């Protein structure tokens, strides 16, 4: 059985699902299994996935009996991957709408072969809209290869990560499982990347081999929670500030349960949780300061826009000229004056 499994949590991929699977199945390194879990699609995505499973024996398709939501389905594909390939060494998440270059998987595997300290390998990427040529976002580069000290790796990951892209890289399955796979919290990708940095280094392939489809929808906590918990009430702890929820989960798993041992002891795990709390509130404070600055600048900007409109609406010289009389056929005829009433004679 293959040592590499790609997990694809699918939900209403629509017209993009074929391009996504075609790019994955066309990898130059073809020795992998593709686990696909459909989370109750209603647009024909499940039927398309079943067709791919019939055509290619590497594709293992399953349909969830009930909606699990985004995080639940991401966790589900990892669980199924473990059952399909018990000896799985490397795992990657895919999506039902993005695109991967043919050499993507081969390049990531070479990174693990070259450096045993690597726990996550990913390529440079682009965000696109419509077609891959229409680039709308290019994430910054980040890697921690060669950084031996744990605290430095975690600090660099905190300030340099592009978590939304990195989470689609290739993980060492054992270390990913040690970090709770994907937790039920706001921004789970940020928490995962930070925790994973405690156990090894990140390697970034210099070539752009991953192309992420972007939408115009603006991210919000409400939309995120609706996607995470579609058919059930969100847990009470998700209403807490995200630094509190994240640090509590780190402190519980690393400090209380000791999931980081032997590399990370319980006391060190508690320290990591407290450190995360400090970093998280620091980041949130900087965000609030930027929002306040923008709110102060907004009235000035709006006034400048209004002034620009007034200037643009200024009448031209021709419009300021004296109006001419309309043609005779357009003139409104004057009504005759009513006759004066006669005075009554005594």
Give me the residues paired with residue 135 across strands: 128
- Which one, of 157, 150, 88, lies nearest residue 122 by Cα? 157
Distance of CA 197 to the CA centre of its chain: 20
Domain with CATH 3.90.550.10 in the chain: 4-214+226-234
> DSSP code of 255?
I
Residue 333 CA to chain centroid, in angstroms?
70
Closest to 23 in 3D by CA, of 193, 167, 168, 164: 168
DSSP state at residue 302? H
Nearest to 10 by CA among 53, 62, 65: 62
CATH of domain 4-214+226-234: 3.90.550.10
pLDDT tens, per residue, the chain with 346 residues? 579 999 999 999 988 999 999 999 999 999 999 999 999 999 999 999 999 999 999 999 999 999 999 999 999 999 999 999 999 999 999 999 999 999 999 999 999 999 999 999 999 999 999 888 999 999 999 999 999 999 999 999 999 999 999 999 999 999 999 999 999 999 999 999 999 999 999 999 999 999 999 987 777 888 999 999 998 899 999 999 999 999 999 999 999 999 999 999 999 999 999 999 999 999 989 888 888 887 776 666 666 666 666 555 544 445 445 555 555 555 555 555 555 555 444 4
Alpha helix locations (H) across 38-149? 45-55, 69-84, 104-114
Cα–Cα distance between 15 and 273 in angstroms, integer?
A: 42
Q: What is the DSSP string of 67-78?
A: --HHHHHHHHHH
C-beta of residue 91 within 8 angstroms of C-beta of residue 168: no
Beta bridge partners of 38: 10, 63
Q: Which residues pair with 118 in a beta bridge?
A: 201
Peptide bond connecting 262 to the previous residue in cis, omega within 30 degrees of 0:
yes
Core vs surface per residue 251-281: b (16+ CB within 10 A) or e? bebbbeeebbeeebebebbbbbbebbbebbe
Spell out the residues 6+ positions from residue 146 whose beta carbon is closer than 8 angstroms to its own: 201
Distance CA 287, CA 7 (A): 34
């Amino acid at each position: 059985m293959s040592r590499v499994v790609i997990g694809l949590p699918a939900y209403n991929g629509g017209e993009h699902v074929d391009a996504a699977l075609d790019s994955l199945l066309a990898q130059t390194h073809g020795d992998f299994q593709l686990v696909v879990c459909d989370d109750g699609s209603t647009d024909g995505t499940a039927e398309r996935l079943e067709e791919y499973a019939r055509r290619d024996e590497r594709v293992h398709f399953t349909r969830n009996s009930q909606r699990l939501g985004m995080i639940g389905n991401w966790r589900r594909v990892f669980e199924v991957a473990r059952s399909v390939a018990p000896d799985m060494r490397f795992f990657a998440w895919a999506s039902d709408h993005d695109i991967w270059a043919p050499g993507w998987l081969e390049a990531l595997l070479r990174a693990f072969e070259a450096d045993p300290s690597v726990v996550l390998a990913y390529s440079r990427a682009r965000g696109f809209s419509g077609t891959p040529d229409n680039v709308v976002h290019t994430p910054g580069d980040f890697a921690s290869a060669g950084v031996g000290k744990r605290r430095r790796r975690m600090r660099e990951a905190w300030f340099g990560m592009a978590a939304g892209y990195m989470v689609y890289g290739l993980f060492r399955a054992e270390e990913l499982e040690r970090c709770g796979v994907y937790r039920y919290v706001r921004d789970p990708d940020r928490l995962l990347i930070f925790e994973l940095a405690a156990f090894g280094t990140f390697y970034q392939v210099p070539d752009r081999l991953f192309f992420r489809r972007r939408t115009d929808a603006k991210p919000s906590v409400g939309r995120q929670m609706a996607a995470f918990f579609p058919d059930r009430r969100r847990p009470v702890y998700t209403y807490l500030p995200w630094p509190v929820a994240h640090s509590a989960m780190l402190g519980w798993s690393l400090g209380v349960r000791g999931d980081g041992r032997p590399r990370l002891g319980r006391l060190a795990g508690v320290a990591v949780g407290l450190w995360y709390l400090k970093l998280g509130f620091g980041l949130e404070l900087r965000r609030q300061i930027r929002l306040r600055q923008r709110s102060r600048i907004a009235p000035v900007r709006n006034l400048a826009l209004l002034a620009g409109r007034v200037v643009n609406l200024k009448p031209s010289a021709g419009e300021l000229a004296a109006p001419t009389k309309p043609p005779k056929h357009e003139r409104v005829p004057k009504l005759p004056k009513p006759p004066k009433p006669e005075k009554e004679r005594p």
